[in-house]
């Protein structure tokens, strides 16, 4: 049980680490256009991301798939750019139901999971049973993502209903900032 909490903590810290802000930017871009009352939809959306990266984490750690880390490090900011752009197409006041964004989020989770895989492989080493460690790490990631979602929803609540900032302006400004940072990351990480 001690290993469970170790890997849970590592997963939580990994997703919320400010040095790995690309994960935070991705989750923030997912949250744009949602309010605290939409927390259930956001939880499903973030869980879709977790499902995607859990699949590729497991496949990579078990040495079933292997992708060049240079391409993964490039594709991660590309997913952020696309998510930031997609968030600007949400209409203010209208909350999405199940839509293509969920499938896209799972697919992007697959890419992000490959980004975690080398880190997790080095942690697990040659463990005989990685299932419980992998589960604990993924649950920690999910918990960290929920903390990020809560922070973004709080920011949205402060900016929209309290400060009365126009929702479309808030989304465009925030998405633009996320887009700009992610675009620069993609350019810097382009594999030559």
pLDDT tens by residue, 51-78: 998 898 888 888 888 888 899 999 999 9
Average pLDDT rounded to a whole number, residues 103-122: 85
Residue 85 to residue 139: CA distance in whole angstroms = 28
Q: What pLDDT does residue 93 have?
A: 53
Residue 121 clears pLDDT 90, i.e. is over it: no
Average pLDDT value for the chain: 86
Residue 183 clears pLDDT 90, i.e. is over it: yes
pTM exceeds 0.85 = yes
Q: Which residues contact 167 (CB under 8 A, 6 or more apart)?
A: 33, 92, 93, 160
Number of domains in the chain: 1
Owning domain of residue 28: 2-189
């Amino acid at each position: 049980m001690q290993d469970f909490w170790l890997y849970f903590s590592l997963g939580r810290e990994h997703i919320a680490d400010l040095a790995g802000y690309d994960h935070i930017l991705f989750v923030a871009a997912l949250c744009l256009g949602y309010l605290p009352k939409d927390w259930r939809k956001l939880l499903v959306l973030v869980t879709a991301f977790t499902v995607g990266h859990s699949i590729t984490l497991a496949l990579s750690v078990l040495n079933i798939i292997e992708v060049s880390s240079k391409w993964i490090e490039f594709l991660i900011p590309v997913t952020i750019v696309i998510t930031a752009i997609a968030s600007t197409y949400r209409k203010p006041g209208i909350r999405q139901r199940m839509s293509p964004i969920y499938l896209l989020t799972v697919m992007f989770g697959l890419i992000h999971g490959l980004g975690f895989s080398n880190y997790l492989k080095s942690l697990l080493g040659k463990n005989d049973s990685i299932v419980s460690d992998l589960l604990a790490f993924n649950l920690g990631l999910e918990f960290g993502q929920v903390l990020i979602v809560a922070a973004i929803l709080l920011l949205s609540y402060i900016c929209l209903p309290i400060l009365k900032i126009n929702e479309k302006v808030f989304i465009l400004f925030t998405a633009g900032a996320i887009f700009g940072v992610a675009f620069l990351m993609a350019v810097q990480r382009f594999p030559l």
